[in-house]
Chains A and B, each alone.
Chain A
Amino acid sequence: MASTIRKYLSLAGYVRRRWKALVLIVVLTLLSAGAAALQPWPLKVMVDFALDDEVATGWLATWIDAAAPATIITWAAGMALIVYVLGVVLQISISWCWGVAGERMVYDLAADMFDRMQRLSLRFHARSHVGDSLSRLTGDSYCVYQACDALLVTPVHQLLTITFIALVAFQLDPMLTLVVLGSTPVLAGVAVWFGPRLKERSRLIREAQARVMSHVHQSLSALPVVQAFTAEPYSRQRYDQLAGDAALAQRRGAFLKDGLTMINGVTTSVALSIVLYAGGRQVLAGALNVGSLLVFLAYAGSLQGAFQKLFKTYGQIRTTEASVDRVLAILHNDERVREADDAVPLAEAVPAVRGRIAFEDVSFGYEPGQPVLSDVSLTVEPGECVAFVGPTGAGKSTLVSLVPRFLDPWTGRVTFDGVDVRTLTLLSLREQVTLVLQQPFLMPISIADNIAYGRPDAPREQVVAAARDAGADAFITRLPEGYDTVIGERGATLSGGEKQRIAIARALLSEAAVVILDEPTSALDVETERAVMAGLDRLTAGRTTFIIAHRLSTARRADRIVVVDEGRIVEQGTHDQLMRSEGLYYRFHRLQHDDAIAGDTASDGPGDAGASPEEVAR
């Protein structure tokens, strides 16, 4: 329980930021509860004093005694209009204020989560799916709204309503008030009993529906096999069977859920009937007048409704907790690459940036106890081009990710021109490292903005110059809107090679001393590769270059080839040296030449993507 409270408290900041709206809500709630208590009174006044000729007591007595019944009726109706309209206006104002405050809370929280997510180290992103992050942003961020509603807004509202009505009712008839309040333990018990069962049921429903969905997904993904083996009837049968189960689960869930409503409703009506009977006896005995009985019947209904809403929050708090956990898992995630408090800009630490990178006994892993890199030491001189070769999972990409500090090593250190990268400000470090990845990763913005992504203030001439160097200018100017063409669904569709050339232009525009190329051409065919390589050559000229290469022909161009296997450097040297030593590289090379003749391994039909080397290695 204490931990639950602590969890909710860590979201309190988002609620506190909207305190003005919340104060306003409380004030409006107070008025609204008062209006609710007043609502049955015009009817009472009319019934008792105009129609039944009761003798009035209290502050209205002199006026009522003097007024004709018809006048009383008219006044009562006018009063009713005022009380009802007031109630409506107050309710709607509350909804509006709570809507404004609640939505803002949610998006404040979502924006903070988003910011935290994008700043988290790649260790986090290696484990989590974008879809999961999105569902945290869209769905779970509502927990702050739900929590505030269940813990603050609803309890305040309902408790105020209950207090007001109970006080007035008690004035009218203490006995009957106690009868109405007596039924609340039943309502509470129902809420407690049904809460977890409803949750369990809805879980079962979700699971049954998920089974239907994954069957459809699997069948359609495996469609070639399903069709080749004429298993369509079987697959359809299985669908019907799973769908039947899901329908059954939904039916059961509906029964339970409406069972709760029914028990609540019956409890309410039992309380009402007791009020009717006991109140009626008192009317017969002359202890109570008919109007008061009507007021009581209205109050009994309102009180029960208020209690039901109040008890419902119990279940809500439990449900919301799961979302709160998922939100806090992001907000409290410390897998950030953190800047040291005394971090200095690179320009301050190094008088002239040259781009000498050294890995000193570096070890690293994504999961504790499972090192991906073990004691790697390597020095790359300024302007040198080093190619990394090795099977998937050897740790090539992980190793180069340490340079711009996407990750921090467990032990050992990475230095930039002799300075530990952890002592530098992230901004100044990453300014000096640019990259081109296997996937071009373009944003749905204009081509010019994409190229200038790292330097939004770059003048158009520089953007064009970078595009020209990357070999992208020609096809960009052929597009209808040239550099202002928006990339993406509604914008131009570019080929893989074209996108990659834009990514190269983006890297060219940044004036970094270090370039990381992570299999930049492995997704391209041979002809496209040639066009892209020219741009890459211009990009790497004069810069320290790390290239993760698939194709040995690419690796061969490097000044030095480093062969990585199982997180260690197993051999390094020039192509000729490595060929002579007849190690792993030699065997790689021989294989690529011996047994392949055709232009590809990827198949050419739609729907059956060829196995990438990644899959092969898996």
Chain B
Amino acid sequence: MKRRWWCRLLGYALPYWRGLVVLLALVLVGIGLQALRPWPVKLAVDRVLDEPEAGVVWLERLPGAETPGGLLAWLAVGLVVVAGGVRLAHLFQVWFQTWLGAQLTYALGSDVFGRLLASSRAWHGRQRVGDLVRRVNADCTCMRDLVMGVALPIVQSVLTLVVVFVVMWQLDWLLALVAAAVALPMGLAIRLFAGPMTERSYEQAERSGELMAMAEQTLGVVPVVQAFRRETHEHNRFRQAGERTVRATLRALASQLHFRLGVSSATAVGTAAILLIGGHRALAGRISVGDLYVFLAYLAALYGPLETLAYLSSGFASAKGKARRVIEVLDREDALAEPATPHALPAPQPGPARAIAFDHVSFGYAPGQPVLERIALTVEPGQRVALVGATGAGKSTLASLVPRFADPTQGAVRMDGVDLRDLPRQVVRSQVAWLPQEPTLLPMSIADNIAFGQPDAAREAVVAAAEAAGAHAFITRLPAGYDTHVGERGATLSGGEAQRLAIARALLKDAPIIILDEPTAALDAATETAVMAAIERLTHGRTTLIIAHRLSTIRRADRIVVLEHGRIAESGTHAQLLQHAGPYARLHAHHDPPPGHAAAEEAHRRE
């Protein structure tokens, strides 16, 4: 972190300065009205009940205020007006504060989300989605915590203390000093107890986190617990962890109560001191009974702001923890930097196809663990290349370099001779349509799914793409046709249907380069035939990289590239490779079907 984290965050608050000014104004009005609260009673006691003759000039100008009864009525009304005003100011403050806080949070969230969307797949591959979601949603509330939970309370508390002190000083300097003297032990209590309070509540959170982790572990392995008859043991473990949590919770409660005891005792002593000294001064005629009332009321009102101040450090600490996770994302060196001076892609050769060249490409997700090593491979426009190899050989990784989901650690990937890093990312990706093994559909209408990335595509174009993908027939059979909403992760469509939608999406994109990552591995044979026909239409005349394990698919390729441990072991046509008697021939002769092979399930489906 180069700059202080809270300076960074306050930078996000600056565009909302108008709102913050309004909020501050509301706070000031609230504080002023709050200071007025004991005054109607004070005036009633002093001017009406104790010494009716010594009226306040402006009060007596009010109609009907000449008589004590009339004045009393006005003061009663004043009490309601002031109290109502305080509440109203508070209402607007909370309302506005919530609104502004949410906006600040989401402004930061939007930036973090945008950054995540632009990050490389290599990085995303190492992250857990749940953790990233938490950074966007939960951690971005650090913005609100900082502005509304730390900065605003500081302003509000300090201003309240100042205003109250000034008013008290006006009434009687000695009593004001007494009250201020009370604030000192309160401040001491804050210093003494704020640290332990924060620490212990943190400890409590730790313990209950441990308890939950323990419960999660056990409930996740219930068959093993039951099979090995360890229910009683696990129950005892839970009880022990629960006991530790209770202890930690009670320690946290104890430190809160210590704080309360400290501050409340100071208030009690202060009240008694004000009564003692104020009483004597009232007896001496220096102050009135009403003044005494105001002092007592103010002293009681001090507790709130002081308590707020005591909890600030824990609020600050939790905001800091969240902010660290947010700034981590914002400050991440973007592996996929946009070129400073973007090159233009030459106009495509006749026919919608482009050449891809891997120029001695090496790549790894972690240093020292290369996934690809010095891959040299050129795919001519319109050529169809199959990538073959075992798990971990690097097939998908190699293919993912083409739409620039990641940058090679060494070497370069070129599209029609231009290094991908010299092209704007959007331009690169607009040239590549990528069809993964598992079609990813988004929870929106079918038409929107097909037009994903091209929201302005005409409905006719969408329908045409669906027809070419062999999806039109089943789409029109759906209740709402193209406007049918796809359930989360495509739950309501079969695998073949979802894959055909993905193909329609790729067709609509009309990109010169197609990447197929085992697009039919998850399909049964009948469906596969239909999908393959659509794929034929999709790849026709385009440069195609296909990751495949099925012989039937591989055979159709112009060239087969066999990857082993991140290197190209051999390449050539099916016939050449069989003749060569290398790894391909061995794979071909391999008799034991692979683990988790789809074929077994598929056989069943052929019934």
Contacts and interface: CB of A to CB of B under 8 A. Distances in A.
B261 to A, nearest CB: 5
Contact of A217 (B129, B208, B245): B129
User: Counting chain A CB atoms within 10 Å of each CB, which of B94, B118, B273, B293 scores highest?
Assistant: B94
B227 A434 contact: yes
Contacts of B403: 227-228
Contacts of A269: 79-80, 82-84
Interface in B332-365: 365
Contact of A52 (B50, B222, B442): B50
A244 B254 CA distance: 41
Interface residues of A, number: 167
15 contacts: A52-B50, A73-B283, A81-B269, A92-B257, A92-B264, A95-B260, A227-B403, A240-B110, A266-B83, A276-B72, A551-B593, A591-B599, A601-B598, A603-B437, A609-B438
Contacts of B239: 111
Interface string B583-607: 0000110111111111111111111
A85 B501 CA distance: 74
Given A216-B133, A254-B99, A114 B215 contact: yes
B486 to A, nearest CB: 11
Given A50-B279, A434-B227, 15 more contacts: A46-B275, A92-B257, A114-B235, A125-B222, A209-B137, A234-B455, A247-B103, A269-B79, A565-B604, A584-B603, A591-B602, A596-B550, A597-B549, A597-B587, A606-B365
Contacts of B408: none
Given A456-B233, A565-B604, A613-B597, A290 B50 contact: yes
A220 B90 contact: no
Interface in A571-586: 584
B188 interface: no
A596 B217 CA distance: 38
Nearest to B90: A258
A220 B133 contact: yes
Interface stretch (B2-10, B154-162, B383-391, B535-543): B383-391
B77 interface: yes
A280 B113 contact: no
A239 B110 contact: yes
B246 A103 contact: yes
Q: Considering the complex of A and B, which 4 residue pairs feature the smallest CB-CB distances, nearest first?
A: A606-B125, A229-B453, A605-B396, A269-B83
B265 A103 contact: no
Given A130-B220, A443-B221, A608 B233 contact: no
Interface stretch (B310-318, B414-422, B470-478, B517-525): B517-525
B167 interface: no
A111 B50 CA distance: 64
Contacts of B426: 230
A216 B113 contact: yes
A392 to B, nearest CB: 7
A231 interface: yes
A217 B227 CA distance: 36
A488 B225 CA distance: 17
Nearest to B52: A284
Interface string B413-445: 000000000000010011011101110101100
Given A217-B129, A435-B223, A77 B98 contact: no
A556 to B, nearest CB: 10
Interface stretch (A155-163, A519-527, A535-543): A519-527
Interface stretch (A131-139, A164-172, A462-470): A131-139
A10 interface: no
A94 B550 CA distance: 73
Contact of A262 (B50, B88, B243, B453): B88
B238 interface: yes
A284 B45 CA distance: 11
- From DSSP, what is the main secondary structure of chain A's interface residues? helix
A377 interface: no
B117 interface: yes
A236 B113 contact: yes
Contacts of A51: 279, 282-283, 289
Given A218-B442, A276-B40, A230 B592 contact: no
Interface stretch (A116-124, A185-193, A317-325): A116-124
B554 A597 contact: yes
Given A115-B235, A266-B87, A613-B598, A232 B117 contact: yes
Interface string B209-252: 00011011111111111111111011100110011011001100
B124 A223 contact: yes
A602 interface: yes
A246 B48 contact: no
A526 B239 CA distance: 43
Interface residues of B, number: 172
Interface string A17-61: 000000000000000000000000011001100111000000000
Contact of A591 (B229, B436, B603): B603
Interface stretch (A308-316, A353-361, A425-433, A472-480): A425-433
B390 A599 contact: yes
A539 to B, nearest CB: 14
A84 B587 CA distance: 87
Interface string A252-296: 011101110110011011101110110011011000001001100
B13 interface: no
B195 interface: no
A602 B551 CA distance: 16
Interface string A63-86: 000000110011011101100110
B549 A254 contact: no
A601 B549 contact: yes
B596 A613 contact: yes
B87 A265 contact: yes
A406 interface: yes
Given A290-B45, A550-B595, A608 B517 contact: yes
Given A251-B99, A601-B597, A604-B395, A262 B87 contact: yes
A305 interface: no
A259 B94 CA distance: 10
B102 A246 contact: yes
A444 interface: yes
B291 to A, nearest CB: 11
User: Counting chain B CB atoms within 10 Å of each CB, which of A70, A89, A220, A437 scores highest?
Assistant: A220
B76 A274 contact: yes
B596 A137 contact: no
A526 B592 contact: yes
B133 A213 contact: yes
A596 B95 contact: no
User: Counting chain B CB atoms within 10 Å of each CB, which of A99, A225, A506, A552 scores highest?
Assistant: A225
A525 B391 contact: yes
Interface in B49-92: 49-50, 68-69, 72-73, 75-77, 79-80, 82-84, 86-88, 90-91
B45 A404 contact: no
Given A254-B98, A255-B91, A272-B83, A229 B216 contact: no
Contacts of A96: 253-254, 257
Interface in A333-378: none
A593 interface: yes
Contact of B238 (A74, A111, A224): A111
B267 interface: yes
Contacts of B86: 265
Contact of A597 (B49, B588, B600): B588
A118 B235 contact: yes
B440 A224 contact: yes
Interface string B272-302: 1101100110110000010011001000000
B453 A604 contact: no
A512 to B, nearest CB: 9
A239 B109 contact: yes
Nearest to B522: A611
A441 B221 contact: yes
B230 A239 contact: no
Contacts of B600: 391, 550, 552, 588, 591-592, 613
A230 to B, nearest CB: 5
